[in-house]
Amino acid sequence: MSLPEPRALDLPRTPPLRLRGRTFDAARPAVMGIINRTRDSFFAGNRHADLDSAKRALDTAVEAGADIIDIGGVRAGQEGEVVGPQEEIDRVVPFLAHARATYPDLALSLDTWRSEVAREAGLHGLDLVNDTWAGHDPELVHVAARIGAGMVCSHTGGLPPRTDPVKVTYGPDPLDVVRDVLRTLAEGAAAARQAGIPQDRILIDPTLDFGKTTAHSLEVLRHTAEVAQLGFPILQALSRKDFVGESLGLPADDRLEGTLAATAVAAWLGATVFRAHDVRATRRVVDMVAVIRGDRPPVRAVRGT
């Protein structure tokens, strides 16, 4: 019997992301800690309507290894409170001001689809605008460019903000959703470049669950390597999402292990930024995948030497 000949791995890699003087890439993946200034987020463990609670969550996330903090003031889904632009500003800006004063070198991201909210937040050293609704407000990318922030370009299947998917289809071929994701992300990144945002501050996010069934999200996750071929760093926002819950038959409180499995797969396939409720666990998973891939050395390697 002939033995297989080992060969060097050809793993997907994307260009680096640069925020606030730091570089994130396959060797230095970034964990984006989530802090929601809401009373109604789908995961009860991350509701910080009280500012003091949000401040404590910030300290905890930084201590656990967060590189970026993503602050949100509105629940993504259609259930829950109606939140206008001024209330969203009132929720996120005091927190951003505190975070910038307390952690001057920490990258701060704002999860919003509203240009007026990003404009106000930009007064407090915002580093990234996380537009999870795929350019619904066409002015948002221009505001991000003017305040010197990076941009997250997303895919929602054309749905407007706070719309849950119902009877979503992309065509008869299971890969049609992947094709739509690739096209939309390429267009979003091109629009960000045209607005004046440097390429190394543009992230692309396949945005699982948004405008997708569980089957769609799983298909897109399997094809992360093709997303990497677009030539931008990839953000994967996988944390405790419904595609994990439906895959395993579990509620949000019990989705950590499934989330970490999806995180490891995405990291192996080329994603380098991970939005997470569970910062410490995610930090360890993505760092371990980076070592297994050979992108960084072990912290210690003395066994058997």
pLDDT in tens, 78-123: 787 899 999 999 999 999 999 999 999 999 999 999 999 999 999 9
d(CA 256, CA 20): 29
d(CA 36, CA 34): 6
pLDDT reading at 69 higher than 90: yes
pLDDT tens digits, one per residue of 228-238 = 999 999 999 99
- DSSP letter at 253? G
Residue 3 CB partners (closer than 8 Å, separation 6+): none
CA proximity to 170, closest of 138, 100, 102, 217: 217
CA proximity to 204, closest of 260, 135, 261, 145: 135
pLDDT reading at 77 higher than 90: no
25-75+84-293 has which fold? TIM Barrel (3.20.20)
Q: Are 20 and 106 a contacting pair, CB within 8 Å? A: yes
Residues of the chain above pLDDT 70, percent: 100
pTM listed for this prediction: 0.95
pLDDT tens digits, one per residue of 33-58 = 999 999 888 888 888 989 999 999 99
